[in-house]
Structure 1
Amino acid sequence: MYSSDASDGYPKKPGASAPPQPPVEGIPVQPMNQSYANYGAPNNPVPPAGLHARPINNVPWSSGLFSCFDDIPTCCLSCWCPCITFGRIAEIADHGSVSCPVHGAIYTVIALLTGCACCYSCIFRTKMRQQYQLQEDPCNDCLVHCCCECCALTQEYRELQRRGFDMSIGYHMNMERQNRGIPMAPVPPGGMMR
């Protein structure tokens, strides 16, 4: 009366449908084939679909870490009110998902309670570096912020300014300006040179 399926060993009712399969997630795995084996050969210079190299973070910063005094107003803002500088940087790095005052308040609370707001700010340096494929220079992001918080914030602020952001108006206003046709200033290849 019941048919048996060899895959699960349980009898099936006649006319019963198979249970729905769960949705497939992730990246499909393709078997190794001839096109992969010949990738890079003179007659096959283009990688097969789905095979992409990760971008290498090798774009130099537009200014050095210790070029703080090239921009005295930003240097003073970073020394006396790092929460404002950080809030503006973090809002741009987060694409406006959290506002400048909220980031600045979190930074201030962490600084007052632990004295280590650099642990929070280094996260956004890493985000910014990944977005713009910047070099991890002169050392690890956490070390840069732990040893030279003011210089790191000033460098990040200048980098975003030189990429065309008006830091005082926030992420959403910058995007609105760009959508209205006011172009953002491009950074010359190789960074800014004097």
Structure 2
Amino acid sequence: MRPPSAPPAPPSATGVPANQHAPPSRAASSLSHHALVPWSTGLCDCCDNVNICCLTCCCPCVAFGRIAEIVDRGSTSCGVSGALYSMIFCMSGCSCLYSCFYRSKLRGQYFLEEQPCTDCCVHWCCETCSLCQEYRELENRGLDLSIGWHGNLERQKRKAAAADIAPPIQQGMKN
């Protein structure tokens, strides 16, 4: 116990700024409003979609390029991302050093849980399974990765335009 005349102990350091009146950062406030959700499929559910599984096993650079184009919202093309992925693989033999960052970006965009372990560990241990899971996640969210980001935007615009067209008014019975 502390003697009554001793000054109060300073608060412990938490790493949080002491300024209570400052507004929280956008990133912190957006994460606090969203609960993390599980992935729509498991890491080892590769055989659920044989086409994705074959694409990822035979041409991981294409699968990664498609994922990266969607995650980057069209700012980098599938071809550029896939070529960079291939180049990193050829130079280092370890393309997971690049692809794990896109898993993190994907999780951040859709508030997905970091499972079954950290993003880099998932890519390091099973690059193919992680790319398959990311591809399936985007498809399960209604995106067609084969048409790219801009193709998905156009498809969304066409659907919105079709929904805006009012149905024809049917005439009532006339005497």
On whether the aligned pair clears a TM of 0.5, the verdict is yes
Query: What CA distance in whole angstroms lies between the structure 2 residues aligned with 1:119 and 1:52?
Result: 29
Give 3-state SS (helix, strand or coil) of 2:145's partner: coil
CA RMSD of aligned residues (A): 2.0
| TM-score between both structures, scaled by the size of structure 1 | 0.66
- Taking the TM superposition and a 5 Å limit, the aligned residue runs for 1:92-171 are 92-171=70-149
The Cα shift of 1:72 comes to 1.2
| Matched AA of 1:121 | S
Unaligned 5+ residue runs, structure 1?
A: 1-28, 33-50, 184-194
Aligned CA distance change for structure 1 residues 31 and 64 (closer, same or farther; 3 Å): closer
Aligned CA distance change for structure 1 residues 72 and 53 (closer, same or farther; 3 Å): closer
| TM-score between both structures, scaled by the size of structure 2 | 0.73
Selected match of 2:151 from 173, 179, 194: 173
Structure 2 residue aligned with 1:186:
none
Give 3-state SS (helix, strand or coil) of 1:62's partner: coil
What is the number of residues matched between the two proteins?
Answer: 137
Aligned CA distance change for structure 1 residues 160 and 31 (closer, same or farther; 3 Å): closer
Structure 2 residue aligned with 1:69:
47
The Cα shift of 1:75 comes to 0.8
The Cα shift of 1:99 comes to 0.2
Query: What CA distance in whole angstroms lies between the structure 2 residues aligned with 1:57 and 1:142?
Result: 22
Structure 1 residue aligned with 2:166:
none
Aligned CA distance change for structure 1 residues 131 and 181 (closer, same or farther; 3 Å): same
Structure 1 residue aligned with 2:6:
none
| Matched AA of 1:97 | S
Aligned sequence identity (%): 55
